[in-house]
Amino acid sequence: MEATEAGAGVDWSIQDVARMAGTTSRTLRHYDDIGLLKPSRVANNGYRYYNGAALLQLQRTLLLRELGLGLPAIAEVFQHETDTVKALSSHLDWLRREQERLARQVLSVQQTIETVKEGGDLMAEKMFDGFDHTQYKDEVEERWGKDAYATADAWWRGMGAGQKQEWKSRAERLGSDWIAASGSGLAADSPEAQDLARRHVEWLTSIPGTPASESGGDVKGYVEGLAEMYVADARFAANYGGEAGAGFVRDALRAYAKRNL
């Protein structure tokens, strides 16, 4: 770390930044080459240095990578989302939820290890805390009935580990594509956004027990209701990059439902 010219504050060498961020100088140079993260200055000897603003940009880049976005999508997000504090607040909400879930998983596994070491009886109901897909059970039953939840629950439990991972990956790709589309400035009724809406509805109809999967069910009402929930509930909004992204998803799904459902 060293001071720059008078009044310019403090900056860090590329090696220091790579070490602090847990990445490599090569990666930072690549980010520079593609215009994603420019150094605040380049010394006469060619060494790159980064100030506080550049570190903020790097932090956001790494967070968005954690969310599954590719570098072109991240560049589009930066181009259209200039409010750093608002963007980081959305990321923070997601990180806190992940922290909660992972803490429960850690405790669950620790308890299992201790029980096995001591030769005790495993407590099945405590072994899967943090792994539970039933966290929205009460909400689902309240909105769509106990049969809807029971059918979906049986479908999920009947899948193998590979099938579950494939389904989760599909959902994650869809979420990442929504975030990229929202950040790119596309209109909600554009062909690209409407193709995403089509994929989203197809994904919803693949889940047994929901109105979207049932013959004669109110698919339009179900899709529009979920679209509103994505915006109203911060837990869901985080999947689409925050409130603004969720609003884009809602508007695109509304337009799709009006035209096709």
Q: 48: which strand partners?
A: 42
CA distance 230 to 245: 9
Q: What was the pLDDT predicted at 254?
A: 92
> The tokens of 232 are what?
């109203």
Domain presence at residue 113: no
140 & 255 share domain: yes
Residue-range definition of the domain harbouring residue 24: 2-66
- Is there a contact between 137 and 151 (Cβ–Cβ < 8 Å)? no
Provide block-wise average pLDDT over 10 residues at a time, the chain (261 residues).
48 91 90 92 92 89 75 76 72 70 71 72 49 50 55 66 76 85 88 92 76 65 82 74 86 92 82
- Is there a contact between 130 and 105 (Cβ–Cβ < 8 Å)? yes
Q: What was the pLDDT predicted at 16?
A: 92
Q: What was the pLDDT predicted at 237?
A: 76
Q: What was the pLDDT predicted at 184?
A: 84
Q: What was the pLDDT predicted at 4?
A: 42
> The tokens of 99 are what?
């922290």
> The tokens of 44 are what?
């006469």
142 & 253 share domain: yes
What's the N-to-C CA distance of the chain in angstroms? 59
58 & 157 share domain: no
Domain presence at residue 72: no
Q: Of 66, 97, 119, which marks where a domain is finished?
A: 66
Q: What was the pLDDT predicted at 50?
A: 94
Domain presence at residue 95: no
249 & 167 share domain: yes
Domain presence at residue 80: no
49 & 140 share domain: no
Domain presence at residue 115: no
Q: What was the pLDDT predicted at 216?
A: 57
Domain presence at residue 94: no
Q: How many CA atoms lie within 13 A of 169 on its CB side?
A: 6
Considering the entire predicted model, what is its pTM? 0.45
Q: Of 10, 35, 66, which marks where a domain is finished?
A: 66
Domain presence at residue 61: yes
Q: How many CA atoms lie within 13 A of 180 on its CB side?
A: 18
Phi, psi values for residue 11, rounded to 5°: -135, 170
* Structural domains counted in the chain: 2
Q: What was the pLDDT predicted at 128?
A: 47
Q: Of 24, 48, 66, which marks where a domain is finished?
A: 66
Domain presence at residue 91: no
Output the domain CATH number for residue 62: 1.10.1660.10
